[in-house]
Amino acid sequence: MKLRLEKQPLEWIDRSQSLTFKIEGESIPAFKGDVISSALWAKGLKVMGRSFKYHRRRGLLSLANHDINALFQSVDYPNIRGDVVSAEDGLSLTAVNTFGNLTRDAGSLVESIAKFLPVGFYYRAFYSPKFLFPKWESLIRHMAGLGKVDTNWTEERKHKRYHYCDVAVIGAGPAGMSAAIEAAKNGVDVCLIDENPFIGGSLDYQYVNESSLESVRDNLNQTIEEMPNITVISSAYVAGYYGDKWLAVNTQSGLIKLSALSVVVATGVFEQPAVFRNNDLPGVMNASAAQRLIARYGVAPCGEAVILTSNPEGYRAALDLRKAGIQVLAVLDTGRPSHDWYEQVSDLGIPVYKEIQSIEAHGKKQLHAVTFQVNGLSHTLDCDGLLMSVGWAPAGAPLYQAGGKFSYDEKVQQLLPKTLPQGVFACGRINGVFDIYDQFKDGKQTGLNAAEYALNQTLSPCDVLKSPTPHSHSYPIWDHPKGKAFVDFDEDVQLKDLKGAIAQGFDNIELMKRFSTIGMGPSQGKHSNMNGIRILAKLTGKSIDQTGSTTARPMFHPTPVSHLGGMRFRPERQTALHHLHVGSQAKFMEAGNWLRPEYYQSDLNRQACIEAEVLAVRESAGLIDVSTLGKMEVFGPDAANLMDRLYTMTMSNMKVGASRYAVMVDDTGVIIDDGVAVRYSENHFYVTTTTSSSDSAYRLMQKKIVEWGLDATVLNRTGQLAAMNLAGPNSRKILAQLTDLDLSNEAFPYLAMRQTQVLGFDATLIRVGFVGELGYEIHLNASDAVPVWQALMAEGAEFGIQPFGVEAQRLLRLEKGHIIVGQDTDGLMNPFEAGMPWSVHLKKPFFIGKPSLAKLKSLQKRKLVGFELLVEPSNGDSDESPLESNLIIESGDIAGRVTSVAWSPNLDKTIGLADVTMEHVELDKLIHIKLTSGALIEAKVVPLPFYDPDGKRQRPEELLEGDVA
Amino acid sequence: MSIQLQSSSLEHLTVLRGKNLSGLVQSLTGSVPALFHYQKFENRGFIANLGSEEFLINLADFHRDQLESDQYAFQRGDVVISISGQWRELMSEVCIYDFRQACPGEFLMVLVAGVSVWMLIPEATETLVMGCDPTYGHYLFKTLEHQKNTSPFLNHGVQK
Amino acid sequence: MPLRLLKYAWKSPEEELRFFPQEKPLEKEYDVVIIGGGGHGMACAYYLAKEHGITNVAVLEQGYIGGGNTGRNTTIVRSNYLTSEGVKFYDESLKLFDDLSEDFDLNIFYSTRGHYTMAHTDSAMRTMRWRAEVNKHHGIDSEVVDVETIQKDIPYMDVECNGQHPVMGALYHAPGSVARHDAVAWGYARGAQMRGVEIHQKTQVTDIKTASGKVVGVETNRGFIKAKKVISMVAGSSPRITNMLDIKTPIEVFPLQSCVTEPVKPFMNTIVVSGSLHVYVSQSSRGELVMGASVDPAELHSTRSTLDFVEGLTDQMMDLFPFTSRLKIMRQWAGMSDITPDFAPIMGKTQIDGFYLDSGWGTWGFKATPISGKTMAYTVATDTTHELIKPFSLDRFERFNLVGEKGAASVGH
Amino acid sequence: MKFIDCPPIGRRALSEFVYGGLVKHEPDHENVSESVWAEHVFYRHSHPQIQKEWWYHRPTGMWFFFERDTLTDVIHHVSVATKGYANEA
């Protein structure tokens, strides 16, 4: 049966452009502008989907994205909504969640056992005996879900943008359009958002045939088009209202994050289905859906229609159907009408049955007849269309999300906004305003108020325009002993399910929802929540307000992950030397948002590469990029005082030109950072932080300056400066080629700092010993780093200098027993436990965490110790090596863990650090490491450092001066 | 939509910190811009006021020996990105700041694509100059280029 | 067809036994008042009645049963904690969970899925190994697995994570499960009610009264109720309750948000967590992907949703599972997490005689539901702190004797 | 998502800020008892209230004080964190 009508005055389709798509192999003709559902219906294919639980046939219900009866799958996307997705040429679709296809779905066998599957049946079975549950679960999972995911789908990421306006109007129906125009006339920037491709709202499908409105419509459209300060965002919905008037506007191009000063919610109302037996048969639909179908797509909803109504809108639909040439067999009114449209319908000779008492639909695959009762007499009418016009529920999501409150208005029989947050306004039918001219007026008043709010002016008083008569039936629900009266079409929740849930004590709105799953499907209750509330209120004898409603959380419509996630903005940092590392075949690793060379690749395997780098440092020279260290300048009259307060050691007694290890703890005494501090001048220090804490340490320093009221400044120079560490016995010889500075032990001893020039560039040199060799850390402007690195490598070539990476450095420092904060320490470790009591100067009057450390000193329960294996794995029964985080087990209990461990090529043994309880810290004590396999191996507690215990290599001059711990 | 991006650096970019910097700035340029404002000079020169104790300058005339005690100068190697054309549209994709409130002459410090940047807000049709930490430069430039080349919003705007 | 369903087939809804009995009138006095009708409160009432014969108990709930964090979490149950204290505690909880359906005569859909915590950095790998070693030591099934194993089990995951932060390995915890959260609360509630406990919904405690340092009762929106023992089991509302007694705690409340996609046919059988990418995800029996991330950045006593959360989460999801870009987010919501400095709970007696606290649940309250109820019931009934919760006493902070859970708990859920 | 009016940097998005915790007054280290110190470090009344908090603006590196209602998330007052301010009053 072809249902395409003659051209309609405001139709959205372009009949000059034909296209074809496929449903389950069948070709469907369509016009440009058709949605999938309208094209299917036009072809007479009224079964557009199968229901979730019983696999019942489903047709059009709302044609407005308030239900998911028409849900499809393509090769590229799951869960395509036929009611709102355009028909595209070449598109090939199948139904979702069928065991077969739309015509034959083996899943419909479920309906034959429906009586065994009452509401919440799955809570009552499948769990005993326990071992069978996984089998049942697998079956349940097989039945669950809608569309299918293809895990090979490629990633899609859409763009997002911010947009700002003074007044945002959500919904471009009669009220929203009027509001936008009025606000714009008051000189503010307006954004008008509508989910349809064209603005107009109900004007364009409910009032198409009201000739008196033609000029009004044209005027509104033209004014909006001409006003430069109205931006129309169409085919876009507000997925959520967030925070302070931020709207997440989802468009087909991507997400617009719209910030407004005031918001007008003119979202209107969702038409609600009536609940009666077989109300889900294809052919039973909302009257507004029928009007949309005719007006937008030029498609007839049926050949012979019966209209069930409780409001004037049902009569308007009857007139529209008649106008489109569709036979209207009868209007069934639940009450006694007295309005103009009723008169018009009567005048056309359409029978009107008043005060009908019950209704029931018949049909196997689709609607064939309607039975209803009037005055106790039963009537049956054969028809293929039953249009429901029994009431409305507010599309209130943005208002709820903004913190607005609704209450039930008995006059209109609708939930209306009761209190709204400042700057948030509502107008139109959501406000209970049903007369079309009142809607214009309400919009206008509200638009003015929204503009006034945005301009910080006093709000003008508003007339109350809400309808004096109800537009919704107070209980559009007719029970039937045989059931099949659906309340939630997504979830196949029937009236009897809700009765069952309530009878069992799930008798408040949230419990009823959670137990019955009403409103939990993809439509999120748009077509079901109001009826659910009415049913609960009725059965518990409470008012609608006492019953309350569930929360309307974002998203308004399900919103694509690709839109919400958007493009990746994940900052990554590169040091000034990055390209040199790339050229040297560095294998990079991530360190926070930095990339650092883990090691430099050669023909050797990873371990051999690392060992070669280690040996180069120990035997001759190595060079490492340490630019990722945090680098802070601290200066000002109170700089020394600040340094004393920030770090556990005294810094104020450091000499100019000296350096000192610096540990920072938090209020509770836990180590949070370490680095090296130098003193440039009386009032000027320079201090490094660990790579990961450069930002947080800087923030903390700034905060403490403010908090303590100190006359000092800290400047984060992390990215502005580069740093490299030249280490090894030949480092002095190499560096000497690039600087005039006297590098002799006497002139530049261990732990000293010198400001000089290297290769003609300003640089700071610090004689540090992190890796335990003679070495110089060179800090300089990032822009000067490349030539200096290249010169050092060139000068070092004759000594076999090697660039070394993070892995080699980790081993070198382990041989020296130096800790890495975050690896050897954990979220609770203090300096005493880290084996660094010397770093805590409790005699200082003040530093962060001092009172905690004063207490913790006597509470020490664990300590970092050095250990070495008694038998190397390679010589033992198995070659399993201990790993970092393997546990220390003593007498069957956990006594600690390995924090660092490695085989040292220099010492020819496996060494490590372990965090152990105080019973096991004595030198030479045997401890037992539990390997990953579970085997225990013995290790011995040994003194630190493992390598060069006297420190002769890092300071061959012996102890001369400087600040030694 | 016409947007061009260019990456460069500023030879004399320096941050000044310390006491009585207004006096120093006055002596260098003859005037002091208001807080979070900048003044432009020839050859990409500018001076921006970040508070009583901090200025960001790019002036060939400045030399370290002009500093008095308690005044400090640190060289800056920021990556500087110039955006000509409809830079406000490009910014709407990567920056939450409402540029309707940004006036020519303002020195704006703001997050762009997750990175802290500074900007010299130009006259209506002029090129925007923004700078960031050099270690983020490659990321920021790459990100802006990518947005410029692929965004439907930059081609169609928000209006359908 | 399970036989059990047959007996429901021939009854009309009205004939069925009420799942929850009719609420009884509120009495003037009870032996024990439990504040909070979520999972913990119901479990405590259940074990008080079942194991200690204490049935003159009222559970006071300001909203509805299970409407707080019980109904807002992502339903993951696991025991692969970092500290011995945590591991032992949660392991007992898992054992109880495993038998709950039969205990309750109600299917809580306790579904063992296997739980992966992905590590994207060296340091995360060390933490995973640390957890695995502690777990194994306590007999918990937990191990570090390599990328090849992950790829075999979750072939649809992009271990390269789009080139940034690639997965280096994971902690795999075979017993990791999900359960139907509401059913847990309902099962405990029904079990407690069947044994005589009263549950009073929409009953808000407005004050707690003491005399000479001892609890004497609670003031509510429905009048004063006498009780010598009062237990606060209100998670995110804990500071409001402790404030009534002027008890200071280290708890701070942060919103914890979650979201779900539209249902799709089940394809994801495991639970996947990525600490570095701040994502955790599992697929429910309804077919929705249930997802969460870390807590909001600032203190807030609110369950409002933010766009930042869902933007961040979806961004990271696409790194792990590129194809999910074509799914749609259907709904988001939030709970309130009561977080302690050491990421371990605060349980047991307090300085006020007769006032017991069960709080500091952060983001792990659901998985502790059975064991919290059981140990708190024991503590209240015997007035002796249960062995398993001794490490979680409120006074551990001033003794600087914190539980070292921070390392692991910050990444897992 | 929120905008906050922050003199002198204008109307700024909250996403540019990092939360820095409560503004607290640190007890004098010299004479503090263990219990007072433990209370300072750990304990507080954290029920919903308007509280004064540290917020850090990342692009400018400025610390601000927000007086924020932890029930409604409304920020009632914003000021630049002036030196020594936290220790006064």
Asked if residue A56 is part of any domain, the answer here is: yes
Rounded-to-integer distance, Cα C51 and Cα B20, Å: 76
B34 lies in the same domain as B57? yes
Let me know whether A745 and A851 are in one domain.
Answer: no
Nearest residue on chain D to C245, alpha-carbon basis: D45
Residues B107 and B37 in one domain: no
Residues spanned by the domain of A247: 159-270+394-454
Query: What percent of chain A is modeled with pLDDT above 70?
Result: 99
Q: Do D16 and B35 touch (CB under 8 A)?
A: no
Instruction: Give pLDDT, residue C403.
Output: 84
- Interface contact A116-C306, CB threshold 8 A: no
A238: nearest CA partner in chain C:
C307
Q: Is residue A571 part of a domain?
A: no
| pLDDT score at A126 | 86
Residue C83 falls inside a structural domain: no
Q: Does D10 touch chain B (CB under 8 A)?
A: yes
Rounded distance between C-alpha atoms, residue A706 and residue A423, angstroms: 37
Residues in chain C: 413
**Domain interval for residue C188:** 28-73+182-250+342-409
Q: In this predicted complex, what is the ipTM?
A: 0.95
Q: Which residue of A has its CA nearest to B19?
A: A636
Same domain for C256 and C246? no
Interface test with D, best of C296, C302, C304 (most D CBs within 10 A): C302
Spatial CA neighbour of A213 closest among A184, A243, A174: A174
Nearest by CB to B158, from A233, A574, A713: name it.
A233
Q: Which residues of B touch A163 (CB under 8 A)?
A: 92, 158
A-contacting chains (≥3 CB pairs under 8 Å): B, C, D
Angle at A918 between CA A917 and CA A919, to 5 degrees: 95
The minimal CB distance from A783 to the residues B18, B77, B143 is found for B77
Q: Specify whether A621 is located in the same domain as A638.
A: no
A124-167 pLDDT per residue, tens: 888 888 888 888 888 888 888 999 999 999 999 999 999 999 99
Contacts of C242 in chain D (CB under 8 A): 45, 47
pLDDT for res C62: 96
Interchain pair D83, A845: CB under 8 A: no
Among A706, A404, C113, B12, CA closest to D88: A706
Maximal C-alpha separation, chain D: 44
Mutate to test the interface with D, among C242, C251, C394 (most CBs of D within 10 A): C251
Tell me which residue range forms the domain holding B152.
3-8+78-156
Examine the domain organization and report whether C191 and C329 are in the same domain. Answer: no
Looking up residue B116, the CATH number of its domain turns out to be 3.30.1360.120
pLDDT in tens for each of the 413 residues of chain C?
566 666 665 555 555 567 888 889 999 999 999 999 999 999 999 999 999 999 999 999 999 999 999 999 989 999 999 999 999 999 999 999 999 999 999 999 999 999 999 999 998 999 999 999 999 999 999 999 999 999 999 999 999 998 888 999 999 999 999 999 999 999 999 999 999 999 999 999 999 999 999 999 999 999 999 999 999 999 999 999 999 999 999 999 999 999 999 999 999 999 999 988 889 999 998 999 999 998 999 999 999 999 999 999 999 999 999 999 999 999 999 999 999 999 999 999 999 999 999 999 998 999 999 999 999 999 999 999 999 999 999 999 988 888 877 655 443 43
Under an 8 A CB cutoff, do D44 and C300 touch? Answer: no
- CATH number of the structural domain spanning residue C291: 3.30.9.10
Measure in Å the smallest separation between the Cα of A721 and chain B Cα atoms. Answer: 9
Residue C411: the pLDDT is: 39
What's the domain count of chain C?
A: 2
Distance from CA of C140 to the nearest CA of A (A): 13
Residue of B50, B98, B111 with shortest CB distance to D16: B111
Whether residue C51 is contained in a domain is answered as yes
Within a domain: A959: no
Strand, coil or helix: what is A938? Answer: strand
Kindly state whether residue A140 falls inside one of the protein's structural domains: no
Give the residue from chain D lying closest to B34, CA to CA.
Answer: D8
Residue C292's DSSP bridge partners are C258, C280
Q: B103 and B68 in one domain?
A: no
Q: What is the largest CA-CA distance in chain B?
A: 60
Q: What is the mean pLDDT of chain A?
A: 95
Average pLDDT of chain B, as a whole number: 94
Of D1, D8, D59, the CB nearest to B111: D59
D56·A850 Cβ contact <8 A: no
Indicate yes or no: CB of A710 within 8 angstroms of CB of D18.
no
Residue A965 clears pLDDT 90, i.e. is over it: no
What residues of chain D lie within 8 A of the CB of C239, using their CB?
45-48
Q: Which of B53, B75, B97 is the last residue of a domain?
A: B75
> For residue A937, is pLDDT > 50?
yes
Say if C18 falls within a structural domain.
Answer: no
Contact D9 B98 (CB under 8 A): no
Model confidence at A596, pLDDT cuts 50, 70, 90, reads very high
Q: Cα angle vertex A80, ends A76, A85, to 5°?
A: 110
Taking one residue from C and the other from D, the number of pairs with CB-CB distance under 8 angstroms is 60
User: Which of A165, A194, A563, A720 is most worth mutating to test chain B (most B CB atoms within 10 A of its CB)?
Assistant: A720
> Does the structure show a pLDDT above 50 at A285?
yes
Residues A294 and A376 in one domain: yes
Q: Which amino acid is at A446?
A: T
C-alpha pair distances (Å), A864 with each of A964, C179, C407:
21, 41, 17
C387 within domain boundaries: yes
Residue C216 covered by a domain = yes
Neighbours of A806 (CB within 10 A): 21
The C-alpha of D34 sits at a distance from chain B's nearest C-alpha, in angstroms, of 39
Residues A748 and A604 in one domain: yes
Mutate to test the interface with A, among D12, D17, D24, D41 (most CBs of A within 10 A): D41
The verdict on C376 and C358 lying in the same domain is yes
Q: Is B113 within 8 Å of chain D by CB?
A: no
- C227: domain CATH number is 3.50.50.60
Mean pLDDT in residue range A37-46: 97
Task: Examine residue C104 and state whether it is found in any structural domain, yes or no.
Answer: no
Closest Cβ–Cβ partner in D2, D29, D63 for A706:
D63
pLDDT band at A522 (very low <50, low <70, confident <90, very high): very high
Chain D partners of A709 at a C-beta cutoff of 8 Å? 83-85, 87
Domain identity same for B89 and B145: yes
pLDDT in the model for residue C6 = 64
User: Are C45 and C34 a contacting pair, CB within 8 Å?
Assistant: yes
Do both A623 and A634 map to the same domain? no
The residue-averaged pLDDT of A553-571 equals 96
Is A128 a domain residue?
A: no
Q: Give the CA distances from residue D16 to residues A18, B111, C254, in Å, rounded to whole numbers and listed in that order.
A: 51, 7, 19
Q: Does A128 touch chain C (CB under 8 A)?
A: yes
CA–CA separation, A722 and A627 (whole Å): 5
The pLDDT tens digits of the residues spanning A661-707 come to: 999 999 999 999 999 999 999 999 999 999 999 999 999 999 999 99
- For residue D37, what is the nearest residue in chain A, using CA coordinates? A851
Q: Beta-strand (E) ranges in C212-359?
A: 214-220, 223-226, 229-232, 252-261, 271-274, 279-283, 289-292, 328-339, 346-349, 355-359
Q: What are phi and psi of C312, to 5 degrees?
A: -65, -45
Query: What's residue B160's pLDDT?
Result: 47
Look at residues A812, A810, A792 and name the one whose alpha carbon lies nearest to residue A801.
A792
Are chains B and C in contact at 3+ CB pairs closer than 8 Å?
no
What pLDDT was estimated at residue A964? 42
DSSP string, D55-84: EEETTTTEEEEEEEETTT--EEEEEE--TT
Same domain, A192 and A86: no
C29 Cα to chain D: minimum distance (Å) = 28
Q: What would the DSSP string read from start to end of A331-349?
A: EEESS---SHHHHHHHHTT
Do residue B158 and residue A231 have CB atoms under 8 angstroms apart?
yes
Q: How many domains does chain A have?
A: 7
For residue C86, tell me if it sits in a domain. Answer: no
Secondary structure in 3-state letters for A439-452: HHHHHHHHHHHHHH
CA–CA gap between residue C329 and residue C290 (Å, rounded): 10
CA-nearest residue to A843 within chain D is D30
Which of A12, A160, A161 would you mutate first to test chain B, the one with the most B CBs within 10 A? A161
* D30 near A CB under 8 A: yes
Residue A851, token pair as written in the block: 């009172």
Looking at the structure, tell me whether residues C356 and C334 fall in a common domain: no
| Contact between chains at A636 and B70 (C-beta distance less than 8 A) | yes
Both tokens of residue A76? 């590229």
| Helix (H) / strand (E) containing C238 | helix C238-244
Per-residue confidence (pLDDT) for residue C407, from 0 to 100? 57
Q: Same domain for B67 and B104?
A: no
Both B137 and B70 in one domain: the answer is no
Q: How far is CA A13 from CA A10, A39, A277, in A?
A: 9, 10, 35
Split into its structural domains, chain B has a count of: 2
One domain, residues B83 and B132: yes
- Alpha-carbon distance of A306 to A313, in angstroms, equals 14
Chain A residue with minimum CA distance to D73: A243
Give yes or no for D84 touching B (CB within 8 A): no
- How far does D63 lie from chain A, in Å, by closest CA? 7
Q: D31 CB near a chain A CB, below 8 Å?
A: no
What is the model's pLDDT at position A963? 43
Question: What is the CATH number for A899?
Answer: 3.30.1360.120
What six digits make up the tokens of D35?
């219990």
Q: Cβ of D2 under 8 Å from any chain B Cβ?
A: no
Chains sharing 3 or more CB pairs under 8 A with chain C: A, D
Taking CA–CA distances from A246, the nearest residue in chain C reads C307
Q: B1 at the D interface (CB within 8 A)? A: no
pLDDT in tens, A452-489: 999 998 888 888 899 999 999 999 999 999 999 999 99
- Report yes or no: B50 at the D interface, CB cutoff 8 Å: yes
pLDDT band at A552, cuts 50/70/90?
confident
**Together in a domain, B29 and B93:** no
CA distance A138 to chain C (A): 9
CATH topology of domain D16-87: Folate-binding fold (3.30.2270)
On whether both A711 and A733 belong to a single domain, the answer is: no
Q: Which residues of D touch B96 (CB under 8 A)?
A: 1, 13, 15-16
Residues in chain D where the model's pLDDT stays below 70: 85-89
| Shared-domain flag, residues A771 and A882 | no
Instruction: With respect to residue C6, please indicate whether it lies within any of the assigned structural domains.
Output: no
Q: Tell me which chain D residues have a C-beta less than 8 angstroms from the C-beta of C302.
A: 71-73
Q: Which residues have CB under 8 Å from C99's CB, separation 6+?
A: A130
Q: Residue A837 and residue A857: Cα distance in Å, rounded? A: 8
Residues C262 and C316 in one domain: yes
| C128 and C239 both lie in a single domain | no
Residue that has been written with the tokens 């903390």 in this structure: A700
User: Which H or E run contains B108?
Assistant: strand B107-112
CA angle A313, A389, A319 (to 5 degrees): 45
DSSP E strand boundaries for A194-229: none
Contact list, D47 vs chain C (CB under 8 Å) = 239-240, 242-243, 301
